[in-house]
């Protein structure tokens, strides 16, 4: 597998050279929220060849890159895990689900029981589910579910910020497009954070 770091990701075309700015998140209705133009998907070019199909997340730029050919891909704006909840490394896309159900982990419930204990038995899929319209499940190198997800969100105003419990989130329309474009078994690289969150 190709070793990749930020020096290998040279972005051209519509992509910005600086990290996307976090937005002031005043609106709280996904139906009314309009994604800012700078957060829309855009074509990118890689300085060095990458493995087609690979998903690469750069948490400092709040960006997910889907490698389409060795030198070209698509960039999606994302939200990432806050603080030390973000986990970097190589993973494999082990499963995909439409309108997935969600159950908070024991660690999430322990960190914030007032918010998560009520969902200990799970929450069915739907427009208010934290995993949004689609979810991609990340597995480790021996095939175990890591409980890390790349998923949609009913809170699109959180894109471009580090607020999640460790997962990577996209606007629902973007995760639907990505879900259709990726296949189970592709590699996923979550780059380490270089900037303090």
* Active-site amino acid positions: 151, 167
> Which residue, 50, 84, 9, is CA-closest to 187?
50
Inter-CA distances, 178 with 40, 135, 151, 153, 170, Å = 13, 10, 10, 14, 9
Please count the other Cβ atoms lying within 10 Å of the Cβ belonging to residue 3.
Answer: 7
Q: Is the dihedral of CA 87, 91, 97, 101 positive or negative?
A: negative
Residue-wise burial string across 76-87, b where 16 or more C-beta atoms lie within 10 A, e elsewhere = bbbbbbeeebbe
């Amino acid at each position: 597998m190709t070793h990749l770091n930020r020096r290998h990701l040279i972005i051209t075309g519509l992509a910005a050279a600086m990290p996307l700015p976090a937005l002031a998140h005043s609106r709280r209705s996904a139906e009314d929220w309009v994604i800012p133009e700078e957060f829309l998907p855009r074509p990118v070019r890689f300085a060095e060849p990458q493995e087609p199909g690979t998903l690469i997340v750069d948490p400092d730029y709040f960006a997910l890159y889907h490698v389409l050919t060795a030198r070209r891909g698509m960039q999606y704006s994302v939200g990432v895990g806050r603080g030390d909840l973000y986990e970097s490394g190589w993973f494999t896309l082990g499963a995909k689900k439409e309108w997935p159900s969600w159950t908070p982990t024991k660690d999430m419930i322990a960190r914030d029981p007032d918010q998560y204990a009520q969902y200990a038995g799970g929450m069915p899929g739907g427009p208010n589910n934290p995993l949004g319209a689609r979810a991609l499940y990340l597995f480790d190198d021996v095939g175990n579910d890591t409980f890390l997800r790349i998923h949609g969100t009913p809170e699109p105003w959180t894109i471009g910020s580090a607020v999640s419990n460790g997962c990577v989130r996209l606007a629902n329309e973007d995760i639907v497009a990505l879900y259709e474009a990726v296949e189970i078994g592709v590699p996923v690289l979550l780059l380490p954070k270089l900037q303090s969150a």
